[in-house]
Amino acid sequence: MAKSLHETNDKIQDIAVLVSLITPETKQTGIDPSYSLDELVRLAETAGVEVAETVVQNRDKPDPRWFIGKGKVLELRELMDRLGANTAIFDQELSGAQVRNLEEMLDAKIIDRTQLILDIFAQRAKTREGIIQVELAQLTYLLPRLTGHGRNLSRLGGGIGTRGPGESKLEMDRRHIRRRIGELKHQLEEVTRHRRLHRARRKETGVVQVALVGYTNAGKSTLLKQLTNADVYVENQLFATLDPTTRLLPLPGGKDVVLTDTVGFIQNLPHDLVAAFRATLEEVNEADLILHVVDASSPMRQEQMEVVGRILNELGAGGKPQIVLFNKIDLCLPEGLQMLPSGEGYLKISAYDERDLTAIREALQRSLSGGTKSFRIPAERGDLASVLYRIGDVVNQQMDEADMIYHVNVNQADFAKYGYQLAPFAVQKPNVHEETNESR
């Protein structure tokens, strides 16, 4: 079961030197190495680590034995001795052999970016589902690296890199760990089955689903809290919340939608983590509309948007209807605001401005609306009246000879599910003007 630092030993203080290796291949990924290192500092601080120093090396390729060059390893050992650091955190993923070699040379705990993120998730997991997913991701990550974490496993007192499965589980042999992974996958399948049942019930009742997605710390949880009065944890930290929260959000037209806050994305998000959290992230795939929350004040705003777009594509949700919310505009300079995209599908907002929250609700109303459609229903087909009310709001109805003409403000998602029954009775030219999307 996932444990926090305070549950292991709150007297232990990890003092770390952060290490980044820059190669030509690194530059080809499009990720700014300096920004990635700055983000690693924030991740370490989020995990409760004191960052003593950062070290960067440029090489043509990683050293297969040490990851960084041997000379740089010796420099790192001298630096850590001088600073009293007991941990080295690498911005890239290490192999088990590299971890073992670095541990022996540095006489310190070795953590890579993936393990650091998993450690933060272990701290954040509160629900049974979250705890299962974190432990599954940690064990899947550690299984091929068991021989490379000898010092981590034997060192008493905990700290980063030892949270989650716990020391006793990590000392199992591979067969037992594989068995535990199988058990966790089975438990997760049960959780996934329950989620599917809940989603199926929501679909049957015609409830529209909206997912909040975005880079970590973009303000998703704050928006959920402000829009729905949800009792959720909000803090200026990376991965401040982990477990998804779902709340009802009333729209101006009187209809409710289901709004779900999802786990924040980050560049180099561990594949094991994405796989383990797929049950949670499936909420994005089931959404009728995505609210992409962007930190407008971030200097890496565009890169963060690209990371979110890439992960959405990996999840199969890249083609979903989307509204981009440029959040935290109160922290932006006027010239910075002018550079943000505007028009249909974009809103510039502050989560703490009530006018902007109203604008979001109105934008949702417009985006989920399929405009106004008219239907001529013969008197003998009175059974279709219930379908008319299911696909949207009936704004007007009138008799015309033996038929009844209905004008309906259509909800796109509901119309897609039930509108086929009304297709033979559609009137091509509705009498009510269809609304168009506007943006702030």
Binding residues: 214-221, 239-243, 261-264, 327-330, 350-352
Burial of 232 (0-12, 13-18, 19+ CB in 10 A): middle
State the Cα–Cα distance between residues 291 and 360, nearest whole angstrom. 9
Let me know: does 385 contact 179? Beta carbons within 8 Å: no
Let me know: does 120 contact 162? Beta carbons within 8 Å: no
Nearest to 252 by CA among 390, 361, 368: 361
| C-alpha dihedral, 264 to 266 to 268 to 271, nearest 10° | 10
Give Cβ neighbours of residue 95 (< 8 Å, ≥ 6 apart). 145, 148
Neighbours of 401 (CB within 10 A): 8
Q: Where is the binding site for Mg(2+), in residues?
A: 221, 241
Residue 202: C-alpha distances to residues 41, 185, 198, 289, 385 (Å) = 41, 25, 6, 15, 21
SS3 for 370-384 is EEEEEEEEEHHHHHH
User: How many residues are recorded in the chain?
Assistant: 440
Nearest to 372 by CA among 341, 404, 412: 412
User: Rounded to the nearest 5 degrees, what angle is found at the Cα of 261, between the Cα atoms of 260 and 263?
Assistant: 135
Neighbours of 145 (CB within 10 A): 19
Q: Where is the binding site for GTP, in residues?
A: 214-221, 239-243, 261-264, 327-330, 350-352
Beta strands in 4-128 (DSSP E): 15-22, 50-58, 87-90, 109-112
Look-up of token digits 């990851």: 67
Neighbours of 431 (CB within 10 A): 11
SS3 for 275-317 is HHCHHHHHHHHHCCEEEEEEECCCCCHHHHHHHHHHHHHHHCC
- Extract the tokens encoding 255: 């209809």
